[in-house]
Amino acid sequence: MTIKDLVNDGATVIDVRSSWEFADGHVNGALNIPLDEIPQRIDEIKNLDSPFLLYCQSGNRSGMACGILQQFGIAKVHNGGGLADMRIALM
């Protein structure tokens, strides 16, 4: 399944960059939950619609965030890579 398919099918898009990075530009409709806040906000995330599509600046932090969510029992997580990757995929 492609990034565009996930978004079109209603995936929750989460930007795991810092709030100032998010404010500088993000994917329309994305939620901002910085990587370092993921463990403290796990209940909030579990109450959102899955699957989850995560992205950051390069794909590194979103990959770590996917691993954290999986450790908390959330199986339907996808690493969308970096912001530029997401923007290209959603064109």
Catalytic residues: 56
Report yes or no: 55 and 13 within 8 Å, Cβ to Cβ: yes
Report yes or no: 48 and 19 within 8 Å, Cβ to Cβ: no
Q: What region, left, alpha or beta, does residue 22 occupy, with left being phi > 0 and alpha being psi -120 to 50 degrees?
A: alpha
